[in-house]
Amino acid sequence: MKIASWNVNSLRVRLEQVTDWLTNNQPDVLCLQELKMTDEEFPIEAFKSIGYHSLFTGQKTYNGVAFISSRPLTNLITDLPNFDDPMRRYIAADFKSEKGEIIRIVNVYCPNGQSLDSDKFVYKREWFRKLQDAMGTDIKTNPNTVLVGDFNITPGDIDCHDPLKWAGKIHCSDIERLILQKLMSEGLFDTFRHFHKEGDRYSWWDYRGAGYRANEGLRIDLILSSSAMMNKVQNCWIDETPRKLDRPSDHTPVVAEYTV
DNA sequence: ATGCCCGAGAACCTCGGA
């Protein structure tokens, strides 16, 4: 089973890149973030025409998350449990493998937070607290759980191109890294880092100042696997191909492959 | 210096992103 996560920064603008990527890579489940469109505008037919099913929760202008899957997913949830929030940042569903194993997949667009002294950071902390509770429950219910998405936190200095410049800043602060560690203490593992110990590997690069060409990036898009799924993971990689295209998203896909 | 670029929505600028 191949799972991928990609913050597309407007599905309207990136649709052709996404359908091309699906055709070329044939994942079982592609998890999208930052759709920036309403459910009425979602391009179901474009995905259907290349053999993919869609589940999504969107809103005008901001946020929005979706599953694009080779087979229908079940047990859909589009709200972070126990958190009343109009922002469309959470979607979860079950994938049934060819062997009949059920995999719980949770796809998130975590809050940015803006800065540590912002009201938006209070919201980020609260949102992560609720996500942690939900993941604890999910992993107990089904040990075969994968949490993917744009976390808007670098796990460590190795995931930041310039730790001195970013020290204490949003995405790279100690408090955010503790929040991520607490979430992962529910039994989740950084799948890319398991296979790749080297630095200078990122999933996001600023549009400004030719950030991609200089490889000035952050690794904030993660695939977190439960221990049961870590026992089945074959490989995990970042695919920089879409970041080199004209009019790219500022993020690029992260992919993991499992034997299930 | 909190900008440089980008997308969306309402106008030709502001907001939010990371």
Angstrom distance, A59 CA to B14 C1': 20
Span A10-42, pLDDT tens digits:
999 999 999 999 999 999 999 999 999 999 999
At residue A156, the pLDDT reads 97
Span A113-134, pLDDT tens digits:
999 999 999 999 999 999 999 9
Span A2-11, pLDDT tens digits:
999 999 999 9
Domain A2-258 has CATH 3.60.10.10: yes
Instruction: Return the closest nucleotide (C1') to the Cα of A218.
Output: B18
Closest protein residue to B6 (Cα–C1'): A207
Q: Where residue A209 falls among pLDDT bands split at 50, 70, 90? A: confident
Q: Which two tokens stand for residue A102?
A: 């059920």
Instruction: Return the closest nucleotide (C1') to the Cα of A248.
Output: B6
Give, as ranges, the nucleotides of chain B with any atom within 7 Å of a protein CB: 4-9, 16-18
Q: What is the full DSSP assignment across A112-140?
A: --SSTTSHHHHHHHHHHHHHHHHHHHHHH
Asked if the model's pLDDT at residue A207 lies above 90, the reply is: yes
Candidates A89, A149, A146; CA nearest to A120 is A89
Has this prediction a pTM greater than 0.75? yes
Angstrom distance, A146 CA to B12 C1': 45
**How many Cα atoms are found within 13 Å in the side-chain-facing hemisphere of A189?**
18
Span A169-197, pLDDT tens digits:
999 999 999 999 999 999 999 999 999 99
d(CA A13, CA A7) in angstroms, rounded, equals 12
At residue A210, the pLDDT reads 86
User: For all residues of chain A together, what is the average pLDDT?
Assistant: 96
Angstrom distance, A153 CA to B7 C1': 22
A190 is catalytic: no
Span A88-106, pLDDT tens digits:
999 999 999 999 999 999 9
A109 is catalytic: yes
Closest protein residue to B7 (Cα–C1'): A10
Catalytic member of A52, A109, A212, A258: A109
Instruction: Return the closest nucleotide (C1') to the Cα of A120.
Output: B16
